[in-house]
Structure 1
Amino acid sequence: MNTTDNPKAVLHAIIDPLCGWCYAAAPLFDAAAAAGFTIKLHAGGMLTGPRRKQIDNQWRDYVMPHDQRIAALTGQAFGENYYEGLLRDTSIVLDSAPPIRALLAVAALGGDDLAYLHAVQLAHYRDGKCASDEGNLHLLAEELALNGADFAQEYAKNEDAFYQHILETRALMNQLGAQGFPTVALETSEGNLKLLNHSRFYGQPSAWLEYLNEQLS
């Protein structure tokens, strides 16, 4: 079945802007969106509150093998400014809250939150511009053709909405028995959620689309 026959084909993507494997899944989400699926983002707050991470050598040694594996599997770009700049800057605290609040602001203003998520990921992993930096997030919103003042106003007032969003996402994770980020579920025509095995399709967007259409039929 083609998604054009099923305009209600919805993929629920449980993500975190600071999760490298969510960056690995970005081409899969893009392929699904281009094929007519609606992508609903649910941000889980991986590095928030006491889980925020100050960058140090231990963190760099932990994430680099994952990042190199992601690059090999998917072709996603990890730049020199990320490896030798951002990951060596021990003044940086990685915090998922600012980019999630920015995503919520973009969505509230009618912007494309998936495109914005990918812009944030590229800026962070390819260009070494920290995804937790509010200035970077503001510039990326303007590059998405959103009004800067409107974005700043929406961002400033959405702290309560952010906490509510995290609670709802974690409830969804519990419902699905999700093991981490990203988790992907297909919404059936009956409104039920079906957990998908997306991880075997990293770097294979065409095979992923075939799998999605099989799940629909």
Structure 2
Amino acid sequence: MILHYIYDPLCGWCYGAKPLVQAAQAVLPVLAHGGGMMTGTNRQRVSPQLRSYVMPHDRRIAEYSGQPFGEAYFEGLLRDHSAVFDSAPPIAAVLAAEQMAGRGLELLGRLQSAHYVQGRRIADESVLLELANGMGLEPQAFERAFGAADTEGHIKDSRALLAKVGGQGFPTLVLEHNGQFTLIDIGPWLGKPQAFAQWLSQSLPEQHSSNTIAACALEGCAD
């Protein structure tokens, strides 16, 4: 049994689901698929409008999930009008960490905390290299793997998987068992990672959900 995790590094609900994904890793293999929510024409420069749009949404995520959002994010990054939200570089970094050491999900977790707690600019290559180095990944090897990552192809494949399993946005968690895919509604489990892991370990859940409470749309998060 495999848990597929279709995510975006700039998706607030994915950050809300971070403890669930970490707990699931103790139970079964988890494969990460970056969906590219804010890439290409959906890349977005930080602006007062963006801040006003995302803050109520982020506070709702915090309420449902218990995940912390830092003042450095709300009052720092979201007021930094030179910052650009671009999903492609952090997805490339996750691919590099996975290719090098099978530690893509670990780096993703660090990127999410860097963004939402520390207010770091995770689309900046220098920040990505610093975070990877902090994990002990050899800098030059990481830089090579980062540069060689087929991010566009990976995003295309992730979107194809999302369509195949009937997912509506990010995060989508889906169990694969004997070639069959079962969507998981993470809404009831937000803030309850150990209960989620126990539930996963008991049997193959049989449920389908549109994940209406806890999901970002393909082209961006909406309240």
Distance (Å, rounded) in 2 between the aligned partners of 1:199 and 1:52: 28
Stretches of structure 1 lacking an aligned partner (at least 5 in a row): 1-8
Instruction: Give the aligned residue type for 1:194.
Output: T
Distance (Å, rounded) in 2 between the aligned partners of 1:142 and 1:45: 24
Task: Indicate whether 1:91 and 2:79 are aligned.
Answer: no
Percent of residue pairs identical = 45
How far off its partner does 1:215 sit? 4.2
Give a deviation string over 1:25-80, Cα, whole Å, max 9, x none: 0000011112x211100000000000001111111111111111122222212111
Paired residues for 1:22-61 under 5 Å: 22-34=14-26, 36-61=27-52
Deviation larger for 24-33 or 66-75: 66-75
How far off its partner does 1:144 sit? 1.0
Task: Indicate whether 1:171 and 2:163 are aligned.
Answer: no
Q: Determine which structure has the larger helix proportion and give its number.
A: 1
Give a deviation string over 1:98-149, Cα, whole Å, max 9, x none: 0001111111112411111000000111001111111111011111110000
SS, match of residue 216 in structure 1? coil
Q: 2:171 aligns with which of 178, 182, 185?
A: 182
Instruction: Give the aligned residue type for 1:169.
Output: S
Distance (Å, rounded) in 2 between the aligned partners of 1:127 and 1:151: 22
SS, match of residue 25 in structure 2? helix
* TM, length-normalised to structure 1: 0.90
Q: Give the match for residue 201 of structure 2.
A: 213
* TM, length-normalised to structure 2: 0.88
Q: Give the match for residue 212 of structure 2.
A: none
Instruction: Give the aligned residue type for 2:99.
Output: A
Q: Give the count of matched residue pairs.
A: 205
SS, match of residue 101 in structure 2? coil
Check conservation: 1:101, 1:162, Cα contact below 8 A: yes
What do you get for the CA RMSD once the two structures are aligned? 1.3
Instruction: Give the aligned residue type for 2:161.
Output: L
Q: Give the match for residue 221 of structure 2.
A: none
Task: Indicate whether 1:21 and 2:10 are aligned.
Answer: no
